[in-house]
Amino acid sequence: MPETGTPLPGTGPCPALPCNPALKTLPELCGEVERLKAAGRCIVFTNGCYDLLHPGHVDLLNRARALGDVLILGLNSDDSVRRLGKAPDRPVNPFAVRAFVLGHLASINYLVGFDEDTPLELVRAIRPHVLVKGGDWPVDRIVGSDIVLADGGKVLSLPLLPGFSTTAMLARIRTQG
């Protein structure tokens, strides 16, 4: 994994950005999580691509953060986004740009990138108390739910804010030029 504030390998070129203190390597994050758990803090985890940030994303992240003391966001690398079968031009924003914007949202305490197809290894390493995804994910299909439930945690699929999606936003942009 990259050092703090640096993008994952294969994330492509992006403008130079200031350091992103929310972005951690997995070993750094695991140390923070251990400290936070020892202090009795409730850890919430969610993940996604967050390619073009919109009100639906911000709403979901705010509601996820309200479920505990600390919100950790697992952010797909560019290669991981491409493998998800989204449009060929996705992600629109490279990892470093997405991480920088997300890392400055008040709801997110920590960000960690992942290059795998799913965040299973992150969930396994972090072992959050609460695992959250948007309402388009049924609880039984949320990756890592078995781990969190076995640990006595909660897995939630939160309703989405109607009328907002990256796919719809990109369709409007493509149509309107």
For residue 51, the domain's CATH number is 3.40.50.620
Q: Is the pLDDT of residue 137 over 70?
A: yes
Does residue 98 fall inside a structural domain?
yes
- Token pair 């750094």 is at which residue? 28
Does residue 21 fall inside a structural domain?
no
Average pLDDT over residues 117-136: 97
Least Cα distance to 132 among 65, 76, 80, 77 occurs for 65
The mean pLDDT of the chain is: 89
Specify whether the CB–CB gap between 25 and 72 falls below 8 A. no
Q: Is the pLDDT of residue 6 over 80?
A: no
Does residue 87 fall inside a structural domain?
yes
Whole-prediction pTM: 0.88
Average pLDDT over residues 69-79: 97
Does residue 139 fall inside a structural domain?
yes
Stronger pLDDT, 14 or 117, i.e. the higher one: 117
Does residue 67 fall inside a structural domain?
yes
Q: Is the pLDDT of residue 119 over 80?
A: yes
Order of strands across the sheet with 154-158?
Answer: 110-114, 70-76, 43-48, 130-134, 154-158
Does residue 103 fall inside a structural domain?
yes
Question: What is the domain count for the chain?
Answer: 1
Q: Is the pLDDT of residue 124 over 90?
A: yes
The domain in which residue 54 lies consists of: 26-176
- Which DSSP category does 117 fall into? S
Specify whether the CB–CB gap between 51 and 92 falls below 8 A. yes
- pLDDT at position 14 is 52
- Cα separation, 20 vs 102, whole angstroms: 10
Does residue 39 fall inside a structural domain?
yes
